[in-house]
Structure 1
Amino acid sequence: MHPMVLDTPRTRLRLWQETDRPAFAALMADPAVMADLGGPIDRAASDAKLDRYIAAYEGHGVCRWAVESQDGDFLGYAGVMPLPADHPLAPGWDIGWRLVRRAWGRGYATEAAAAALDHAFLRLALPEIVAFTAPDNIRSQAVMDRLRMQRDPARDFTAIYDGVNPWRGLLWVALPGRTSALPIARS
C-alpha cells in the first residue's frame, strides 16, 4: 500500500516514521511550543502521544500528520483525530497543529491544517470538526479564523489534562461546506 501524502504549495503532510520520534520529542519538550498546552512533556509521554497518532491513521485514515517543508525539513504536525471518550466535547473530531518555533508566523500551520481538514471531510463525511485553544493563544485563534472556522462560545469548556490545573478551551467549528483556498495534491 502506498503511504498517504498530502502536498500543499509549501508543505507535505505524511505518515509518521520511527525516525521522526526524536524531532517529535524535541517539539513536545520545547517550553515555548507547549506553553498553552500544560508545559513540556518527556520522551515517554511524547512516544505515547505519537503512538496514538499512528493508531488513529490505522483506525480511521486520518491523524495528526507529520508536517515537513517541501524540501524535507520537519516542521511539526497538523491533523484531525477522534476526541478521547473522556473529553468534554466527545464524541467528535478535532483538528490540531503544533509547529517548531522557527516555522511560526509563516503560514505553515494554516496551509497544513487546511489540507488536513479537507482530507478529513472527504474521507469521513463528518458533519463538523472542532478546534479549541487557550484564551491567550492568539496565534492558533488566528489560524482558526484563516481556516474559515466559526467561533462557538456556547461550547467553550474547562478540563483538566494530565493532572494539571483546570484548562479553559475556546471552541471553533469547521463545517464541510467551508472552502479551502489552497490547492492540495494527494498521492
Structure 2
Amino acid sequence: MSTVLPGAPSLQLRVPTDEDALAWHRAFDDPEVMKFFGGVPEEISLYEELTARQRRFDAELGYCLWTVLGEDGEVAGFAGAQPWPRDFGPVGEIEIGWRLARSAWGRGYATAAARLTLERLRAAGVERVVAVIDVANERSIAVARRLGMERAETFSTSRPGQEAVCYRLTLTDEARAQA
C-alpha cells in the first residue's frame, strides 16, 4: 500500500516476509543505525524471530512493524506498531516505532511511514500510542514531535546508563475525552 499523503515520499508498508529478516539484517548492519540500540548489529536469528512475530501481530491485531519499501522498491527498514515488549517503561501500551537503513535517512521516510502507521492504527481502533526514544536520539525525537506526540516521562532502560523518553499520542476522540 503506497502513501498518499501530500508532500510525502512515495513508499510502501508491507507485512514482513521471511526474506525481510535478511533485508533488515543488512539494512541495520551499521553501528550508526544501531547507535541507540546497543551499538552492535544483531544476529540474523533475531530478525528471523522479529519478522515472524510481526506476521503474527498483523494477523492477530491488524498492525505490526511493517517493512518499509522506499521509492526504488528496496527495503529501507521497518515502521509500525506493536505491544510494548519490555517489563519496564510503558507496560501494556502500544508502541509506534521506526528504524531505517542509513541510506534512507533524511528522505522523509520515517515521518511518512509513521503517519501511515497512525492512519492504520486509527482504522484498527487503537486509542493511543507511545514512542520510546533514547534521550540522545534527536532524529527520532523530531519525528515524534512532527507526529504531534507529547513528551510524557523519562525512565532508565535495561541498558546501563541509557535513559529513554516516552512520547504519547491519543488517536481517538473517545480516548481524548477520557484523558
Q: Would the TM-score normalized by the shorter structure come out above 0.5? A: yes
Normalising TM by the smaller chain, what interval? 0.7 to 0.9
Residue correspondence of structure 1 range 18-167 to structure 2 within 5 A: 18-39=18-39, 40-84=41-85, 86-123=87-124, 125-152=125-152, 155-160=153-158, 164-167=159-162
**Are the aligned partners of 2:18 and 2:52 in contact in 1 as well (CA < 8 Å)?**
no
Q: 1:87 to 1:62 in 2, by over 3 A?
A: farther
Q: 1:11 to 1:126 in 2, by over 3 A?
A: same
For 2:28 and 2:160, how far apart are their aligned partners in 1?
Answer: 19
TM-score (norm 1): 0.82
Identity among equivalent positions (%) equals: 32
Other-structure match for 2:166: 171
Alpha-carbon offset, residue 46 of structure 1: 2.1
**Are the aligned partners of 2:3 and 2:112 in contact in 1 as well (CA < 8 Å)?**
no
Q: 1:59 to 1:6 in 2, by over 3 A?
A: farther
For 1:87 and 1:51, how far apart are their aligned partners in 2?
Answer: 24
Alpha-carbon offset, residue 166 of structure 1: 4.5
Deviations along 1:143-175, one digit per CA (max 9) or x if unpaired, are 1111111111xx222121xxx425311111111
**Are the aligned partners of 1:76 and 1:100 in contact in 2 as well (CA < 8 Å)?**
yes
Alpha-carbon offset, residue 15 of structure 1: 1.1
**In structure 2, what residue type is equivalent to 1:21?**
A
Deviations along 1:79-117, one digit per CA (max 9) or x if unpaired, are 011112624211110100001111111111000010001
For 1:18 and 1:133, how far apart are their aligned partners in 2?
Answer: 27
For 1:137 and 1:26, how far apart are their aligned partners in 2?
Answer: 21
User: Could you say what secondary structure the match of 1:13 adopts?
Assistant: strand
**In structure 2, what residue type is equivalent to 1:169?**
A
Taking only aligned residues, the RMSD between alpha carbons, in angstroms, comes to 1.8
Q: Does 1:7 align with 2:8?
A: no
For 1:12 and 1:84, how far apart are their aligned partners in 2?
Answer: 25
**Are the aligned partners of 2:15 and 2:54 in contact in 1 as well (CA < 8 Å)?**
no
Instruction: Report which structure shows greater RCO (CA 8 Å, sep ≥6).
Output: 1
- Pick which of 22-31 and 110-119 moved more: 22-31
Unpaired runs of 5+ residues, structure 2, are 174-179
For 1:28 and 1:87, how far apart are their aligned partners in 2?
Answer: 25
TM-score (norm 2): 0.86
